[in-house]
Amino acid sequence: MAMSDPDPLLRLRQSIAANEAPVTTKSPDPASDPTENLAVATHLQFSNPHYSYPLDTPTRFISSDKPVDLRSIWFAWQKKDVAIPDYIASAQELNEELAGKDSASKVQNLVFVERLDLITWLEGASEESEYIKGLESDASATRSAQVASGATGGVSTIPSGAAGVRGGRTVDPRLQEIYNGERRMGDRNSVLRGIKPTDFSHVRKIAETFLSRSRPSKSLPTNTNPSLVSLPGKPPIINNTPIPSGPNPKHHRRPDPIILLSPSASSLLRLSNIKSFLSDGLYTPPHTTSTHANILHLTRLLPTIDPHRPLRFILVDTPEQFKPDYWNRVVAVFTTGQTWQFKGYKWQDPRELFKEALGVYVGWRGEDLPPSVKGWGRGVLSVGVEKWSSGQGAGGRWRDREVVEGIWGRVEEWMRGKGWGKEGLGR
């Protein structure tokens, strides 16, 4: 790419706005045959005017304090309409294909917030992005420093004792006195005596930790006791017993435990089939083509924790919408043995993770465990189900119930060991 060529990220945004999508090719020659396979493509070609950029070119988009290459940017744009698990699975397949061709290149898997921010900026719906470094990143800071020091900017003044001339014209003496009383003013970047714009995003993250404790959750609501009855002008009643009124009445609520699933396309259990497996004791293949909900609920009676009220479990396959206190409610993590699943987790080291939550690996009966699962030790429960056969029917899946009961038994044992009681964790 020549030094005079425009920025590749900006060029991609302009081509999208002009509805002139670039093409990937195997060489920088614009006459070469295009290819849609990013594992063999080496360049991204733009037209009107023509520019050719190597796919390994680093861009101004920053993820984990490192520039993201053009291949990863173009891949994220191509997958802008697919679900998160499909995007992750496609990135993994492409990286495996690149590794098979002895390529040093690797597609970077952008997290949900980064990918959403990138797509919004490329579509032109947003003019700014917190992950994209400006083309003139030092210009604003230099300008602010000059204004703050009085070297430039603000409103110019006429010093006292001037010859009554302003802008080459004679100024009225009374107006001259007004000018003499003027003071230099800064702009919005220097009004707080700063030398550069300050990023306060860390304050928002710290505040969210405290705010989440004092307001109810919206994305993962907690259960409310169904036996609570309240009539106008009367105190609340639970099981025919009035609750004493007072400034701080006790609310009988308990948090819902959370089970995390693997988003991997190779997982035997996904959101599309986990409920029939854990609730009905029947394994069916996951639906790969139909859409499914991002969150599921199921109830289960755990007698040693609460023999009278079933617990409601929340099942999700990504922690992207988690608040900090949600991690205390994670009781089990289903895994396929692939460590990329834990990238967005609070505990990204599997050995540390499975000290905080029960690991569950479900594979085919008779097949060897992945080496990674073996290395994680006793913190992971490994079970096997019979291989699926379309002509088998529900009657041939009688062993599934045995496997499911074993999983629930370990979950109940783990929750009891962590202090879960009738009213939730640590009560």
- One DSSP character per residue, 348-417 reads -SHHHHHHHSEEEEEEETTSPPPHHHHHTGGGEEEEEEPPP-TTT-GGGGHHHHHHHHHHHHHHHHHHHH
User: Quick check: is 145 in a domain?
Assistant: no
User: Quick check: is 3 in a domain?
Assistant: no
Residues 163-185: tens digit of each pLDDT: 444 444 566 777 777 877 776 66
For residues 271 and 384, state if they share a domain.
yes
**Does residue 280 come out as left (phi exceeding 0), alpha (psi in the -120 to 50 range) or beta?**
alpha
For residues 17 and 65, state if they share a domain.
yes
Asked if residue 370 lies in contact with residue 380, where contact means CB atoms within 8 angstroms, the answer is no
pLDDT at 7 over 90: no
Residues 55-88: tens digit of each pLDDT: 899 999 998 889 999 999 999 998 888 888 888 8
- For residue 232, the enclosing domain spans 222-254
pLDDT at 268 over 60: yes
Query: Measured between alpha carbons, how far is 20 from 9 in angstroms, rounded to an integer?
Result: 15
User: DSSP secondary-structure letter at 92?
Assistant: H
* 8-12, 150-154, 182-186, range with the lowest pLDDT: 150-154
For residues 233 and 286, state if they share a domain.
no
Residue ending a domain, among 122, 156, 185, is 122
Q: What angle do CA 115, 118, 123 make, to 5 degrees?
A: 125
Query: Measured between alpha carbons, how far is 364 from 15 in angstroms, rounded to an integer?
Result: 48
For residues 249 and 275, state if they share a domain.
no
Q: Which residues contact 235 (CB under 8 A, 6 or more apart)?
A: 242, 243, 244, 245
For residues 227 and 293, state if they share a domain.
no
User: Quick check: is 215 in a domain?
Assistant: no
| pLDDT at residue 252, rounded to an integer | 52
User: Quick check: is 75 in a domain?
Assistant: yes
For residues 28 and 40, state if they share a domain.
yes
User: Quick check: is 385 in a domain?
Assistant: yes
User: Quick check: is 198 in a domain?
Assistant: no
pTM attached to this predicted model: 0.44
pLDDT at 15 over 60: yes
Q: Rank 18-22, 81-85, 248-252, 408-412 by mean pLDDT and report only the highest.
A: 408-412
User: Quick check: is 46 in a domain?
Assistant: yes
**Does residue 240 come out as left (phi exceeding 0), alpha (psi in the -120 to 50 range) or beta?**
left
Q: Bigger pLDDT: 185 or 97?
A: 97
When pLDDT is cut at 50, 70 and 90, the band that residue 51 belongs to is confident
For residues 328 and 247, state if they share a domain.
no
The number of distinct structural domains making up the chain is 3
Helix (H, G, I), strand (E, B) or coil at 319: coil
Q: Which residues contact 311 (CB under 8 A, 6 or more apart)?
A: 256, 257, 299, 300, 301, 302, 305
Q: Which residues contact 181 (CB under 8 A, 6 or more apart)?
A: none
For residues 392 and 293, state if they share a domain.
yes
pLDDT at 224 over 50: no
Amino acid at 73: I
When pLDDT is cut at 50, 70 and 90, the band that residue 214 belongs to is low
Asked if residue 266 lies in contact with residue 283, where contact means CB atoms within 8 angstroms, the answer is no
For residues 278 and 389, state if they share a domain.
yes
For residues 227 and 351, state if they share a domain.
no
Asked if residue 73 lies in contact with residue 61, where contact means CB atoms within 8 angstroms, the answer is yes
The pairing of beta strand 424-425 with beta strand 253-254? unpaired
For residues 227 and 302, state if they share a domain.
no
When pLDDT is cut at 50, 70 and 90, the band that residue 191 belongs to is low
> What's the 3-state SS for 229-288?
ECCCCCCCEECCEECCCCCCCCCCEECCCEEECCCCCCCCCCCCCHHHHHHHCCCCCCCC
Q: 402: domain CATH number?
A: 3.40.50.11990
Percent of the chain with pLDDT over 70: 74
Query: Measured between alpha carbons, how far is 343 from 290 in angstroms, rounded to an integer?
Result: 26
User: Quick check: is 239 in a domain?
Assistant: yes
Asked if residue 260 lies in contact with residue 330, where contact means CB atoms within 8 angstroms, the answer is yes
Query: Measured between alpha carbons, how far is 199 from 201 in angstroms, rounded to an integer?
Result: 6
Residue 298 forms beta bridges with which residues? 313
| pLDDT at residue 195, rounded to an integer | 54
Residues 19-38: tens digit of each pLDDT: 888 888 888 876 677 888 88
For residues 230 and 303, state if they share a domain.
no
Residue ending a domain, among 98, 122, 146, is 122
Residue ending a domain, among 122, 149, 184, is 122
